[in-house]
Amino acid sequence: MQTSHDAEKKITVQSLAELGPLPMKVALGCSVLLPVAIVLALVFGHGWDLFAFSYLQSTFFFLSISLGALFFVMVQQLTRAGWSVVLRRLSEFLSLGVIPLAVLVLPIVLLTLMGNDTLYQWASAKNIANDSLLQAKSAYLNKGFFALRYVIYFGAWIFLAKFFLGKSLAQDETGDPETTLLMERRSGPGILLYTFTLTFAAIDFIMSLDPHWFSTIFGVYYFAAGLVGFFSVLAISLVYLRSKGILKEPVSTEHLHDVGKLLFAFNCFWAYIAISQYLLIWYANIPEETSFFLPRQENGWGTVSLMLVVGHFAIPFVFFMSRKMKRNPKPLVFWGFYLLIMNWVDIFWLVMPNIAFDGMESSVTFPMLLINVCCTIGVGGIYVASILKLAGDKSVMPVRDPRLEESLRFHNI
């Protein structure tokens, strides 16, 4: 493979730093809402429980986006994709979000290590002593092993994210095509490592909120949600950067079209996994499995469930299918924001119904929504500010990738 000098002449090195200080200031301003959520937790009854679950939901909402970005980066390398070169670096930056999230998730792990059962029933020795099922699962669901797995998960994700970005940046300096071949060879084992860690992380941090319930498809469900979130953010980011003169020439309507197609496709994939999980549990009708869906049909959760069926799948399936919607920046941004919000509702639906106050079932309330929204915006501010800081003045595009010219000339059939 040879680096195309013609392609290099067509581009200029640009970075996110060219956006100026405003995005960083806005992100840091949003982060203030995290302590606001803590204050609200002091005001409302059961506020600390609401905050703990909201904080978990917020961190794993943004984690799903970064993990989706990491998967996209590795798949592009594995398949030797040329079309995506001009937007791959932005995906590599988004994958770096696992670094600040490793720190943000740490309080959850420390709280569990202290034996606090606000989130996880299995963290309390008293609960285990009174529950035969928790005793049977204690070899896996225990505080020490949980903390060790946290280190393994985030250690693996940070290593993968830094490896692929580091090699890509090194190629910007050397132009060595062997670097591309190295990333291709490493992406296969990387995806295997990613698959195992993501699956078990989804089980540990979200599914084990209800330790009596289980689903063998849950890891895939979280994976699908993450890809919907990632492609939503990618579509929004590309249109925004082009409007600011960054990536305006390299990223064409053809690239936006493909990002829109992937967003639509993985939203359908999410719906397929969701209905598969539901139907398997519905027709088996086993109490140990139906315990997940029954609470999500009452106390306001039925409305949220219906919102996911109609809002997350039916509406975008009908109105976002059009080629025109994917090639026009404004509709693409609209659907990007729309599906990102639906993805947030999805993670909200997974986490928040597990709250139980003194044995009472969870219900959708104004304090829950208020604390959750503040928590999400606050965590999101830290997340975005960290990515901007880590991206720094690095080139927003792999300027000496051997397949750059193919990407610049990309055209949909």
pLDDT tens digits, 355-408: 875 555 678 889 999 999 999 999 999 999 999 999 999 999 999 999 999 999
Name the residue type at position 160: L
pLDDT of 287 reads: 87
On the question of pLDDT at 288 being above 90, the answer is no
Contact 116, 52 (CB under 8 A): no
Give the C-alpha separation, 332 to 256, whole Å.
8
Q: Is 3 left (phi over 0), alpha (psi -120 to 50) or beta?
A: beta
pLDDT of 413 reads: 74
Continuous H helices in 114-252: 125-129, 132-137, 143-174, 178-205, 218-243
Is the pLDDT higher at 11 or at 109?
Answer: 109
Which tokens is 213 given?
Answer: 């319930």
Q: What is the pTM of this model?
A: 0.95
On the question of pLDDT at 1 being above 50, the answer is no
Give the pLDDT confidence of 206-240 residue by residue, as tens digits.
999 999 998 999 999 999 999 999 999 999 999 99
> Percentage of residues in the chain with pLDDT exceeding 70?
96
Give the C-alpha separation, 372 to 61, whole Å.
12
173 C-beta neighbours (distance < 10 Å), count: 10
Mean of the pLDDT values across residues 45-67? 94
Contact 101, 63 (CB under 8 A): yes
The mean predicted confidence, pLDDT, of the chain is 93
Confidence of residue 3 (pLDDT cuts 50, 70, 90): very low
Give the pLDDT confidence of 127-146 residue by residue, as tens digits.
999 999 999 999 999 999 99
Give the pLDDT confidence of 344-353 residue by residue, as tens digits.
999 999 999 9
Give the C-alpha separation, 28 to 367, whole Å.
24
Give the C-alpha separation, 348 to 354, whole Å.
10
